[in-house]
Amino acid sequence: MAKPDKVAAVAEIADRFRSSSATVVTEYSGLSVSQLGKLRRALGDTAKYRVAKNTLVKRAAEDAGIEGLDELFIGPTAIAFVEGEAVDAAKALRDFAKEHNALVIKGGYMDGRALSVAEIEELADLDSREVLLSKAAGAFKAKLSQAAALFQAPASQVARLAVALEDKRKSEGEGAAEAAVPAES
> What are the tens digits of pLDDT across the range 42-68?
888 888 998 889 889 999 988 888 888
Is the confidence at residue 86, as pLDDT, over 50?
yes
Residue 79: the pLDDT is 92
Q: How confident is the model at residue 2 (pLDDT cuts 50, 70, 90)?
A: low
Task: Please report, as a single letter, which amino acid is at residue 62.
Answer: E
pLDDT at residue 81, rounded to an integer: 92
Please list the helix, strand and coil fractions of the chain in percent, rounded to the nearest 5, in that order. Answer: 65, 15, 20
The reported pLDDT for the residue numbered 155 is: 74
Question: For the chain, what are the domain ranges?
Answer: 4-126, 128-180
Helix 33-43 to helix 86-99 angle (10° resolution) is: 150
At position 183, the amino acid (one-letter code) is: A
Residue 106 φ then ψ, to 5°: -95, -30
pTM as predicted: 0.66
Mean pLDDT of 91-119: 89
Average pLDDT, the chain: 83
Confidence class for position 181, pLDDT limits 50, 70, 90: low
* DSSP one-letter string for 119-163: HHHHHHHSPPHHHHHHHHHHHHHHHHHHHHHHHHHHHHHHHHHHH
- 1 pLDDT exceeds 50? no
Task: Give the residue with greater pLDDT, 135 vs 18.
Answer: 18
Span 146-168, average pLDDT: 79
Mean pLDDT of 130-155: 77
Has residue 4 got a pLDDT over 50? yes
pLDDT at 28: 86
Strand partners, 147: none
CATH 3.30.70.1730, domain 4-126, yes or no:
yes
Reported as a pLDDT band with limits 50, 70 and 90, residue 167 is: confident
User: 102 pLDDT exceeds 50?
Assistant: yes
